Amino acid sequence: MLRYVIRRVVFAIVTTFGVATIVFVAMRLVPGGFAQAQLGTQGARSPEVAEAINERYGLDQPIIVQYGKWLGNAVQGDFGESLRMRTSVADEMVRRVKLTLELTFLATLMSLVIGVPAGVLAALKRNSPRDVVTRLLSLVWLSIPDFVLGTLLIYFVSTRGLGLPISNYVSFGDDVWGHVRSMLLPTITLGLVTTAVVTRVTRSSVIEVLGEPYVVTARAKGLAPKAVAIRHVLRAALIPTVTIVGINTGYLLGGAVIVEELFSLPGLGRYALTGILNRDYPVAQGTVIVAAAMFVLANLLADLTYAFLDPRIKY
């Protein structure tokens, strides 16, 4: 198992390095640079000013030179300073990543608490009205994009006077209950699609496991359906669910960009979006690398969970 973990860690490093390279190049292929983004329409009339800005921040150097300097510093944990705000990118990411991780965790927890029981119950009563309703609802949630669902929730809450904050984030340290209320709508927006995916995957997996010989034998021994489901079916059926949860981490991190902007949450996703729109290269590059590293780590943890769920699995 140790050899497997080492191999996966090496793969994670190579993957993160590849993502860093792609983002670095892609940011510079986008029309308009940092100087043009800051000057706006004036940039076309003032090329000298734009050249001065590029020279000041070292953006006039060959791209390979810029990449070498940035990568050398990034390996040491130094992602540079924001070109626009002149603040440390690493410090700002540390401050903001906590909120993004909390939002991702809450959305994942929501998908497991709701999706796993719903999928199991639907599979145990296959083709029953409960199963049909579960499949229909999960298909509906899968069909609604994050920004549409978030907009509908904002409209519903604002017109019904439910008293939930829409764009007024409250930190946990300032007000615990206010923080919970401010995170409710973003969590629902981000977690519903993932809940639908977990429900459908769990249902399909349970139906497949129910046909296994050891489950048939357990039923033949006279075990209660509840005992069969919990002791013999659930753990084996959760392996595909764990896989999809790990993969959904990337979706959640990507969806957090939209959700954080929609609900004005000062998280990593909103920070990344601001960096991209302003052509703030250090911000965009640093946030994408951190998101890629979290995604790879989540998938590694998901793979290591397999052995706990099914001892027959060998790495």
pLDDT in tens, 121-132: 888 888 888 889
Handedness of CA 152, 153, 154, 158 (dihedral sign): positive
Q: Over range 140-148, report the average pLDDT.
A: 86
Structure tokens at 89: 């990118």
CB atoms within 10 A of CB 186: 27
Closest CA to 188 of 154, 222, 214: 154
Give the three-class secondary structure for 88. Answer: strand
What does the pLDDT look like over 184-221, one tens digit per residue?
889 999 888 889 999 999 888 888 887 777 777 767 76
Rounded Cα distance between 209 and 55, Å, is: 63
Residues 6+ apart with CB under 8 A from 228: 215, 218, 219
Rounded Cα distance between 62 and 68, Å, is: 10
Across the chain, what does the average pLDDT equal? 81
Phi, psi of 250, rounded to the nearest 5 degrees:
-65, -40
Of 160-164, 204-208, 277-281, minimum mean pLDDT range: 160-164
What does the pLDDT look like over 290-314, one tens digit per residue?
888 888 888 777 777 766 666 666 6
Is the distance from CB of 269 to CB of 250 less than 8 angstroms? no
Rounded to the nearest angstrom, the gap between the alpha carbon of residue 213 and the centroid of all alpha carbons in its chain is 37
Closest CA to 135 of 192, 200, 206: 200
Q: Which DSSP string do the residues of 169-185 spell out, in sequence order?
A: ---TTT-HHHHHHHHHH
Give the three-class secondary structure for 277. Answer: helix
CB atoms within 10 A of CB 101: 15
Phi, psi of 88, rounded to the nearest 5 degrees:
-65, 125
pLDDT reading at 178 higher than 70: yes
Phi, psi of 252, rounded to the nearest 5 degrees:
-65, -40
Give Cα separations from 288 to 12, 40, 89, 245 (angstroms).
14, 25, 12, 20
Which run of H or of E encompasses 291? Answer: helix 281-309
Is the distance from CB of 170 to CB of 183 less than 8 angstroms? no
Domains recognised in the chain with CATH numbers: 2-75 (no CATH), 94-309 (1.10.3720.10)
Q: Over range 97-118, report the average pLDDT.
A: 90
* Helix pair 2-29, 63-75: axis angle to 10 deg: 140
